[in-house]
Amino acid sequence: MEKRRIGRTDLLVSKICLGSMTWGEQNTEAEGHAQMDLAFARGVNFIDTAELYPIPPKAETQGRTESIIGTWVKSRKNRADVVLASKVVGRTANDWFRGGRPSKLVRADIFDAIEKSLKKLQTDYLDIYQIHWPERPIPWGSNPTRAGPPSEAGGPDDETPIAETLAVFDELVKAGKIRHVGLSNESSWGVMRFLAESERGVGPRVASLQNAYSLANRTFEVNLAEVCRREDVGFLAYSPLAQGYLTGKYDHGALPKGSRKQLFDRLQRYEKPNALEVYLEYNTLARSFGIEPALFANAFVTQSPLVTSNIIGATSIPQLEMALDSADVEWTTEMQDAVDAVHQRVGNPCP
């Protein structure tokens, strides 16, 4: 599988990254191991996880996903062959991450998070350590299609300065616990502020950005895409299937047993007005090219010149095989023109 360089680093990663957020909830340890075995046999060398996982986040399951990856890496004895990325939570009132208190992007909390992650993952270091979401109060995903009231733009008096957070990551790099720093669910302003602080000598340079990107959410394009291209920041795209809506399985109101929506009903980010009609149009378009919607939607992301690596997710081996197949799809000009024509009319219904 084609490998692509992340930013200015020496990390060469497969153009598909294996997401892991279902392992420990919808998937067992054995199923997680089977997914990793298959993905690596197909040329994937990149795994993304988080201290938060599995999803949905709960105190009783938090950290299971990292533990599943850790037992796989230990049993396969392949740590040197794996590019491993995890994440520290941003500001949260959920107290189970830090033993009974809220968490922020301050030194004590970041050190607590990395030590726990390294122990669960059974490794001495992470290749990329990402901030899961910003500490400042901004809309989830950081790239809404409409601005909220001005009051939402302000932050609490105790908001941790970006320079302070970045300095902690500098300690982690110098201690050999992480190799590179990444951001997630971040805005153009946020990425540039982190870069500006590192240019002032405060800490390590941001290597990657992980934001949502799909047919239903192309908000990364233009502003963030220009930042990443001009500043040499790798783009790691998540949610290429819009949490399953771009597979076609929910078309016409269907609710498959065992699906994420049926189990948890927490897909509200992808259930905005007119979204169902948009999914149906893209899924129908995929079939007009003779391609399954899930394969088509993943190929749109995997083959994009804007994307360093597409973070795929699956709860079954057949789903994983189809996602991996997106690496071999020839994404044609005709396909791009067709999705651009739809996008011109419908925009980004689910940012």
- Element spanning 3, H or E: strand 3-5
And the tokens for 195? Answer: 């870069």
- Element spanning 86, H or E: strand 83-88
| Closest-CA residue to 343 (of 213, 188, 209) | 213
CATH architecture assigned to 3-346: Alpha-Beta Barrel (3.20)
Question: What's residue 154's pLDDT?
Answer: 53
Question: What's residue 150's pLDDT?
Answer: 60
Q: Whole-angstrom Cα distance, residue 1 to residue 42?
A: 7
- pTM to 2 decimals? 0.96
Among all chains, which residue has been given the structure tokens 């950081």?
A: 142
| Closest-CA residue to 282 (of 219, 345, 210) | 345
Phi then psi dihedrals of residue 269, to 5 deg: -60, -30
Question: What's residue 141's pLDDT?
Answer: 87
pLDDT under 70: residue ranges of the chain: 150-157
Question: What's residue 101's pLDDT?
Answer: 94
CA angle (28, 32, 38) in 5-degree steps: 145
For residues 104 and 160, the answer to whether their CB atoms sit within 8 Å is: yes
Residues serving a catalytic function are: 53
Q: Whole-angstrom Cα distance, residue 323 to residue 316?
A: 11
How distant, in Å, are the alpha carbons of 228, 259, 278 from that of 290?
Answer: 33, 24, 19
